[in-house]
Structure 1
């Protein structure tokens, strides 16, 4: 593959560049590490190292910010639904007041301000609801991939979980068996968008759950006298 003077032949260089420009190379940015497309030269491996050194922190920062934004949206949606139910129950019973965290002005003012985002942090969301939302996202993705790729539901769920959890074995990939290049590209782009938001969902769940864990930890610490109740 290489000439005697150590230079890489033109065909090999073109092959390496083409492989790095394939859509599958974007998996590198998402710390999954699928091994179906790999660099075969020293230059390619060095480029992969520097690519990952800059790309992975940028992706993690992007996912953290996107996850925080999605968490705020989730809190606001949950707050609106709770306010609507509280208001309907008040109208039906014509007694009692809505919960103090309802803030009727918020229901009628969907403006996206810093004050609203800070207020949304006070909304308490049950952990079971957060986990159900995450597994519902996985379930929907598994249904889509099972339909697209003619996989069994178990295989599709395995692929979605392994990918979103960043395990990334690479033994199953969407669109690889499709002979039509346009369909294969469309499937890949759709899968990339789904899995990108899946990683953001993981960040969102961590953001939501950690606040609830902090609240319960402080409550437990007050009960056993580790911290002051003030």
Structure 2
């Protein structure tokens, strides 16, 4: 007979099912967090964080800006109506002194109120500062520490939100610059080795190794030729009959035998097949072929290649000049003003004296200008991080080379003196 499952078994299966669901949720959460800290995830996280900040500041500061604009418009209309009443009905038009007094009083009051509105954040050029594009650019300038200053929060909640938003956003953007700069640096080094470098280019490590190998082969050939020449000369002199120098000839024969033994030992150590002295040249050729084949494999290794500092500087200057031409055409600026704005922005100085949207009247074009500026800043700062990584590698390589050169000079100057003094 089939037994019915007890309550304990049902409870155990339910507990196991609940544990498996929890484990699945934990695994999914771990995978999601790991993906968010990958390169693609960090880019998406920075963009999403900036968009979220834009909506947050629109919700906090958007209504305050609308109220301020309405107050300024109402003030202007009331001032115009009051001036019309003064001119038309209240006083005698033919009394110039009384008319001047009333009009000057109204204008001074209007100027004072308008200045207070400007201090509170009203900008007649940017009436839509807290639109989506304007808030997006403001959020980006906060986490990048540029801070133009032309748009700033006026409410207490807006100021508090800016502080919290910057505390979280600045480390996130620094992580973005670090990872994206490293990726761009590796990609650029790979492209540089494939496009700009050849096998015999002095900038590669293989060129330096090939040069050392050729010098070693040349030195070994010179030493071998000297030994062969001395051996032949000794053999020729040993065949000449000389009665009085028998003991000297015996010594020369011993020296020749020792040299032959040393040559045989060197040839046996260099040759892989253990052939005779006639195959020494083939062994050396095989060694050079093997070494050259190994070098050809490492010719394009990006890890052993350093990019020149001048090329990195040229990339940064070209990006600034390209942005200057773009903004000069888009914002009706001069080339110098465009270059000044790009440099001040990418260097995170951000004076705010020149900002996009000042010379544009149409609101739709202003929104596009803000988005274009945000994209230019994100790409430009990542490109500058890439150039800094490449220049750092080049400086480290040059420093190590200088240290090795100084060590060799020190050894040549002082090491020989110590050896001579010891002798």
**TM-score in terms of structure 2 length:** 0.42
Bigger relative contact order, structure 1 or 2, given CA contacts below 8 A and separation 6+? 1
Instruction: Please say if residues 62 and 130 of structure 2, whose CA atoms lie closer than 8 Å, have aligned partners that are also in contact.
Output: no
Larger Rg: 2
Unaligned 5+ runs, structure 1: 1-10, 87-96, 107-118
Work out whether 1:174 is the aligned partner of 2:351. Answer: no
Distance 1:190 1:53 in 2: 25
Aligned counterpart, 1:71: 185
Residue 191 of structure 1 deviates from its aligned partner by: 1.6
Aligned counterpart, 1:90: none
- What secondary structure does 1:121 align onto? helix
Distance 1:121 1:220 in 2: 20
Are residues 78 and 47 of structure 1, via their aligned partners in 2, closer, same or farther at CA, if it must alter by over 3 Å?
A: same
Q: 1:191 aligns with which of 373, 378, 383?
A: 373
- What secondary structure does 1:38 align onto? coil
Residue 150 of structure 1 deviates from its aligned partner by: 1.1
Work out whether 1:159 is the aligned partner of 2:272. Answer: no
- What secondary structure does 1:144 align onto? helix
**TM-score in terms of structure 1 length:** 0.74
- What secondary structure does 2:304 align onto? coil
Aligned counterpart, 2:386: 204
Distance 1:100 1:181 in 2: 61
Write the deviation string for residues 53-87 of structure 1: whole angstroms up to 9, x where unpaired. 0001101110111111111111111111135697x
Distance 1:20 1:37 in 2: 11
Q: How many pairs does the alignment contain?
A: 196
Instruction: Please say if residues 16 and 39 of structure 1, whose CA atoms lie closer than 8 Å, have aligned partners that are also in contact.
Output: no
Instruction: Please say if residues 181 and 383 of structure 2, whose CA atoms lie closer than 8 Å, have aligned partners that are also in contact.
Output: yes
Aligned counterpart, 1:44: 158
Are residues 211 and 181 of structure 1, via their aligned partners in 2, closer, same or farther at CA, if it must alter by over 3 Å?
A: same
CA RMSD of aligned residues (A): 3.2
Are residues 140 and 216 of structure 1, via their aligned partners in 2, closer, same or farther at CA, if it must alter by over 3 Å?
A: same
